[in-house]
């Protein structure tokens, strides 16, 4: 393959293979992602035929993870993340510890050292956010209490893995590697620096982000360019993801998630989500293909018992641990089964940890192969695990109806109330915004010809202004730099022929705006007034894309001029 077309051929062949295999999987009543994984196996170096560039595919799949996590953040507010902290934080930490112990136990059975066991156990303990989200989306559970807890749980896991990735090189010699260790003082210093970086990132994301990102998004939207808006959304998502990884040492996915959370505070979050969705879907497919490329099917024949043991820890061990933790924390069995099914797989962080373990000479190559085998098999079986969880839930409700009804009921109801309050607050914010747009159309029928997206863009262009009775809003001879729409109150236009009153729903200042000349009359507030001002530059940019609006304003301005002339002649 020529290097200059490696990217094009990798993307083209990957999409074609994924489309064909995804369709065949659907015809066999399997989830399409199983087809995507099989497509990756076909394109990988361990099967005959075309071999795609796995390095490029891996980087492209990382783009999919970034965009998918960004989309999750857009629909997952910081307040919702805090609402599930009482179960997500202790649950994730305890589950990582216990699952890692199971991995260490299995690795000791293989005869590996403690370092290999730690890397192997950590790799098996963390689930793939991409796989979880796909499963929740297919079952319409993303916005449910169970879905929110599962996503929050995995966010905590991701944070823990970021810390593990930083500490592993520092602890390599202690764990059994040779020539890679550092002193205890240096280890403490590295740990302190890591914690400070993570804390700095959290502070910026929580306090600076909600002020800067929505403001920047609004500024871009005011240009009226849909292409520039979409580009800016992607630039913010990828820029924050890359910057957070380079400056603060957190993962791309985690940085993108917080970028989405920050952007969710803007009224433009729904539009940002809609614009980025097609790219999310396309690049997330490349994630599953890249997983399949790294899978060596021969390990199923070389080490069948080791593969089975690895798979049992991922599917059975982690699920039982997660369910037990949820029940011990006094939450209902239905929530526990959903979380357990969602965690019964491994993904992107597992590959990163395994690769780092091999490079540090902690984990043997065989361990990396087992992790990849466990990943692809657990991802393939995950839909069946979810189906089994649903069946177990129904069985439990039939056999132990009283216990199922009472266990964790109070905590679950409290959690649902908190999430409901947060959702209602978000809906109220959106409702208020829509009411403002509706009121704008009702007050100014001139804008009724615009579609919803155009009204949103126009609303962003307006600059609010107020005036008290007797205040001169416009002065004769001033430059025509803006057009005023009266939202509330009344004004008088001072003409030689007499004063002309204008009430809410009217506008003024359009004549000088259209002609580029000076103001020809004074306008004085005769009541407490609220205006929406449209600057000349913004009006010209918007009107250039909607000639009908300029034509309507021009027509009304001409009629008003003719009326003023007629009044002047009548007075003469």
Gyration radius from the chain CA atoms:
30
Predicted TM-score (pTM) of this structure: 0.70
Strand partners, 508: 484
**Predicted pLDDT of residue 1:** 46
- Helix (H), strand (E) counts: the chain: 25, 8
**H or E segment at 487?**
strand 482-488
Contact 284, 68 (CB under 8 A): yes
Per-residue pLDDT of the chain (572 residues; tens, 9 = 90+): 445 677 788 888 888 998 999 899 888 877 787 888 888 888 888 887 777 777 777 777 777 778 777 877 776 666 777 888 889 999 999 999 999 999 999 999 988 988 899 999 999 999 988 788 888 888 888 888 888 899 889 888 877 887 787 677 777 777 766 554 556 676 677 667 777 777 777 777 777 777 788 788 777 877 767 788 888 888 888 888 888 777 777 667 777 877 887 777 676 776 777 777 777 777 778 877 887 887 788 888 888 999 999 999 999 999 999 999 999 998 999 899 999 999 999 877 788 788 788 888 888 888 888 998 898 889 888 888 999 999 999 898 888 888 887 888 888 888 888 888 877 777 777 777 677 777 777 777 777 777 777 777 777 778 888 889 889 888 888 887 788 888 888 999 887 777 888 888 888 887 777 777 788 888 899 988 988 888 877 777 777 777 777 777 777 767 766 666 666 565 55
The DSSP annotation for 137-206 comes to HHTT-TTSHHHHHHHHHHHHHHHHHHHHHHHHHHHTTTTT-SS----HHHHHHHHHHHHHHHHHHHHIII
Coil, helix or strand at residue 407: coil
Question: What are the tokens at 422?
Answer: 């947060």
509: left (phi over 0), alpha (psi -120 to 50) or beta: left
In a 13 Å sphere around the CA of 472, the CA atoms on its Cβ side amount to 9
The DSSP annotation for 79-110 comes to HHHHHTHHHHHHHHHHHHHHHHHHHHHHHHHH
The DSSP annotation for 491-535 comes to EEEEETTEEEEEETT-EE-HHHHHH--B--SEEEESS-EEEEEEE
Note the residue count of the chain. 572
Interatomic CA distance for residues 179 and 362, integer angstroms: 12
**Residue located via tokens 């009482």:** 86
Q: Please, what sign has the CA dihedral across residues 288, 293, 298, 304?
A: negative
Determine phi and psi for 482, rounding to 5 degrees: -165, 160
Domains and CATH numbers, the chain: 3-41+54-275+286-417 (1.20.1530.20), 462-571 (2.60.120.10)
Burial class (CB in 10 A: 0-12, 13-18, 19+), 130: buried
Strand partners, 501: 492
Contact 326, 137 (CB under 8 A): no
Burial class (CB in 10 A: 0-12, 13-18, 19+), 5: exposed
Contact 137, 156 (CB under 8 A): no
- Residue 509: CB atoms within 10 A of its CB come to 25
């Amino acid at each position: 393959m020529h290097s200059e077309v490696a990217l094009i051929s990798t993307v083209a062949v990957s999409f074609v293979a994924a489309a064909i295999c995804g369709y065949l999987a659907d015809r066999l009543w399997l989830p399409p992602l199983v087809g995507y994984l099989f497509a990756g196996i076909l394109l990988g170096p361990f099967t005959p035929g075309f071999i795609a560039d796995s390095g490029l595919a891996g980087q492209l799949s990382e783009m999919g993870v970034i965009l998918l996590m960004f989309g999750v953040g857009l629909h997952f507010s910081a307040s919702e993340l805090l609402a599930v902290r009482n179960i997500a934080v202790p649950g994730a930490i305890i589950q990582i510890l216990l699952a890692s112990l199971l991995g260490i136990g299995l690795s000791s059975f293989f005869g590996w050292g403690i370092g290999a066991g730690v890397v192997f156990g950590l790799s098996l303990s963390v689930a793939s956010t991409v796989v979880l989200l796909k499963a929740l989306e297919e079952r319409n559970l993303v916005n449910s209490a169970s879905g929110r807890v599962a996503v929050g749980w995995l966010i905590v896991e991701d944070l823990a893995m970021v810390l593990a990735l930083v500490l592993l090189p520092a602890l390599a010699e202690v764990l059994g590697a040779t020539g890679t260790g550092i002193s205890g003082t240096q280890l403490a210093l590295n740990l302190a620096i890591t914690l400070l970086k993570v804390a700095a990132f959290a502070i910026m994301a929580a306090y600076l982000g909600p002020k800067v990102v929505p403001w920047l998004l609004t500024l871009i939207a005011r240009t009226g360019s849909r292409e520039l808006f979409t580009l800016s959304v992607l630039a913010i998502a990828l820029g924050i993801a890359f910057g957070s990884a380079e400056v603060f040492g957190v993962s791309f996915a985690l940085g993108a998630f917080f970028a989405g959370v920050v952007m969710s505070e803007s009224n433009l979050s729904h539009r940002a989500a809609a614009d980025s969705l097609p790219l999310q879907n396309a690049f997330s497919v490349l994630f599953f293909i890249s997983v399949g490329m790294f899978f060596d099917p021969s390990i199923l024949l070389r080490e069948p018992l080791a593969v089975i043991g690895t798979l049992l820890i991922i599917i059975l061990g982690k699920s039982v641990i997660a369910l037990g933790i949820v029940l011990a924390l006094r939450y209902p069995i239905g929530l526990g089964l959903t979380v357990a099914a969602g965690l019964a797989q491994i993904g992107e962080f597992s590959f990163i940890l395994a690769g780092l373990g091999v490079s540090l000479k902690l984990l043997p190559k065989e361990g990396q192969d087992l992790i990849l085998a466990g990943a692809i098999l657990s991802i393939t079986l995950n839909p069946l695990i979810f189906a089994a969880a649903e069946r177990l839930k129904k069985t439990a409700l039939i056999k132990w109806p009283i216990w199922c009804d009472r266990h964790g009921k109070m905590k679950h109801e409290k959690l649902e109330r908190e999430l409901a309050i947060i959702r209602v607050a978000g809906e109220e914010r959106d409702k208020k915004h829509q009411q403002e747009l509706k009121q704008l159309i009702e007050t100014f029928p001139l804008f009724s010809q615009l579609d919803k997206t155009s009204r949103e863009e126009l609303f962003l262009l307006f600059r609010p202004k107020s005036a008290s009775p007797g205040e001169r809003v416009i002065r004769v001879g001033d430059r025509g730099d803006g057009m005023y729409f009266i939202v509330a109150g009344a004004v008088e236009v001072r003409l030689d022929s007499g004063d002309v009153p204008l009430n809410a729903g009217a506008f003024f200042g359009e004549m000088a705006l259209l002609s580029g000349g000076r103001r020809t009359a004074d306008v004085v507030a005769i009541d407490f007034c609220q205006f929406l001002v449209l600057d000349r530059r913004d009006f010209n940019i918007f009107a250039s894309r909607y000639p009908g609006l300029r034509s309507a304003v021009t027509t009304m301005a001409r009629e008003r001029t003719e009326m003023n002339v007629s009044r002047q002649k009548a007075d003469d």
